Amino acid sequence: MEINRNRNADELMKKIGYEFRNKEYLEEALTHRSYSNETEKDRRFNNEKLEFLGDAILNLITTEYIYELYEKKTEGELAKLKSQIISEPVFSTIASELELGEYLYLSNGEIMSGGRHRRSILGDAFEALIGAIFKDSDYYTAKNIALKFLLGKINKLEEIEGTGDYKTVLQEFVQGKYRKMPEYNLIKTSGPDHDKVFEMSVSWNDKIHGIGTGKSKKEAEKHAAREALARLKKSEK
């Protein structure tokens, strides 16, 4: 199931406000590894290297911007803020707003399994798109376009928290790496009946990876998932 490349490329360029001089960069940014593996294309032709590049560029753009914007924040506060912005929930939300999934080249199997709406794929595609713009132009052009989409997220971090579906992000990670589902278990409840506090754990491979508390089991599970993701991110450094 192929999409109309020329029509969709033109539509997407209008949405992002940038016209590629070398449209092969855009095609590469939109090509998921599954598509290259399924077709006769060179299997190395996919968006993973542009994603790698885009991630580095977005890190620099965001760091530079919040450094200038929040002069009174400490290094620790800036690092925490950056980690909230440079994240899959934020990038996948921007990609969804652009309907980026509709422009991606995916294998038939990936399409059938909902790949056009999968957060991990969308977040990676947004990074690849910024990497492609950088390759086609320069840092400052990529910066201006990236900030056009990031500014609203930077200035409304409460909304970022709201879009950060930590349980979904954690589930996709654990399923992708371990082929298992994270399990949530109640550790204990405390407080009177009208004001209970729940403590939940999230585990996989017979090991607890995060613990969270909340006024409901759902809220506690979200906090447990957030802690697990924070630990995973720290372990990757």
Beta bridge partners of 183: 203
127 included as an active-site residue? yes
With b for 16 or more beta-carbon neighbours within 10 A and e for fewer, the 52-69 pattern comes to: ebbbebbeebbbebbeee
Residue type at position 230? A
| N residues, the chain | 237
Active site residue 10: no
Rounded distance, CA 203 to CA 195, Å?
Answer: 26
146 within 8 A of 130, measured Cβ to Cβ: yes
Of 51, 110, 127, 136, the catalytic one is 127
**Buried-exposed string 215-225: b where 16+ CB fall within 10 A, e elsewhere:** eeeeebbbbbb
Under 8 Å CB-to-CB from 52, ≥6 apart: which residues?
131
Residue of 55, 88, 110, 227 marked active site: 55
Which positions ≥6 away from 237 have C-beta within 8 Å? none
Active site residues: 55, 127
